[in-house]
Chain A
């Protein structure tokens, strides 16, 4: 193998991306979506001690229910949102009912299998989900798309924003709504965690048998924990759908769940406020590959994608080996020890 002198040149740092506000907004949108999903995982894994590897399925069920309700059933976008949340929460409870009795490692396997079932369904039930072609607008009426109502709102938000910022980014309203949601969800969860209900969740995490001996119906609490993460997953799914503007089964592969897990463990287990920080840091690192002006050979597009996968993998391995509690987690609260 001969070495091309061009590949040996020092790697340059491109400052184009740093000043590109649209780039930062798109990173912020991704970070916000994953923060919402990871908050759900925090409820499950951080506070209830159930390792849920099916977050991508909750996002898929939420996003597809919303799109199908708008496009096939023909109800309004705003009505479809609460309905899709309800459907996803029921789905979460339905999944949890048989599988929450399992040991932690079996539960993890069961949830990842369930998530792959959902993806297989989205791929193959073409009449309903559009299969691999994706789902965007209704077949009979190409002007009827699920994101239409959101576009109107988005335009009116930007109409207001124009008073302060001429020519705002088209993604800015989405960013705004997503991070407001992250804030509300974080505050609500911090509050919920301080209630007696939240303390029972932690009791289950610490010692489920003891919680049961105190007369708590632990299965019911674990189901509620799963339903909350399903709700947050569905909301993350809505935002993902609005960001993508076309739903594909590939957008809900298991990798998505583990992006959310990376966000979670980077921010720290058993700490709701850390999730947002973890999300921003994680996506900063992943998208940061764009700062560095990597020369095309050897850095083809596939290889840059491989690099992101490698960063995610190394981050998970490194954190678990050296700092399993993450940045803001509490070592004493990590009782997934045994």
Chain B
């Protein structure tokens, strides 16, 4: 159909052809822009610096991507903008701190504990808060303010038990590894490897498994999915478990490569939102890609501007994406 349409029209202008293709596959444009930025940076700053900062950005990107997958699934399926999602990350990180530092257990145990506990938190909140509110047919403002209130409540709990001190997990922060002349901290490398592995697994799981397909079906149209005989309540619970677990993992990663304090997750929330919007709401693959892209772009920005400003990259991406293309770039094109 596509090919036929193009040939039927009497030799459309090149610009029109490009425009049509961009509308159908918007990520082509994004890839082009990123390639242009990459080339410009390589010419200006040299390949080594660009590759080095890009590598630094991968660990940040993996954290954004892991946070974004859960947020986008919840957003897509329940139409709930979970402002407390950042605090899910902090929750996971403090759970890991409890096991890893307070009880002195190895970090691997702490990671699994953090993922488990954050998943439990997600399910518990769905049961006591979100499901009853949906049953009441609560409005958008109610959900928004409730999520904000929940974020404050969680932060208050962190502050009560752990204070406002900046803490760190028991990880190796000194040794680093050299690959092809590029240097990366050992912990960062582990974060990148674990992050990318989990992300690929999540991507494949969503595409291949029945649960993944059901989640995507719910995200497309919850009522239609219900009519098709899917047990939506169960899938929603699984989604929260999934979102919580990944948020917990992302939180532990963030606390490993940076530091842990009650506002940690909230400060990560806006770049994570940026990944969600850029990827297209409800689109897990889009969120994965967009998270990595934003992480790398944030670190690239330090080549040309002061590192103090680098958080602005996430905000700028978020605002630009919202204004220019709120239906997302890396996800499949759909009208909203």
Contact = CB atoms under 8 A, between A and B. Distances in A.
B157 interface: yes
Contact of B152 (A105, A120, A313): A313
A338 B323 contact: no
Contacts of B143: 320
B114 interface: no
B308 interface: yes
Contact of B159 (A303, A317, A338): A303
Contact of B133 (A269, A303, A319, A321): A321
Contact of A320 (B149, B163, B308, B326): B149
B309 interface: yes
Contacts of A312: 149, 152
A254 B145 CA distance: 13
Interface majority SS (helix, strand, loop, mixed), chain B? helix
A316 B149 contact: yes
A309 B138 contact: no
Contacts of A120: 309, 311-312, 315
Given A124-B309, A310-B156, A324-B139, A113 B318 contact: yes
A315 B146 CA distance: 9
B322 A109 contact: yes
B278 interface: no
Given A120-B309, A306-B156, A102 B141 contact: no
A320 B318 contact: no
Interface in A307-329: 307-310, 312-317, 319-321, 324
Nearest to B319: A113
A119 B148 CA distance: 19
A306 B163 CA distance: 9
A102 B325 CA distance: 10
Interface of A: 45, 51, 98-99, 102-106, 108-110, 112-114, 116-117, 120, 123-124, 254-255, 258, 261, 265, 269, 300, 302-303, 305-310, 312-317, 319-321, 324, 334-338
10 contacts: A51-B140, A109-B277, A113-B270, A117-B315, A254-B266, A309-B152, A316-B152, A321-B132, A324-B142, A335-B139
Interface of B: 79, 81, 129, 132-133, 137-146, 148-157, 159-160, 163-164, 266, 270, 273-274, 277, 306, 308-309, 311-312, 315-316, 318-319, 322-323, 326, 336
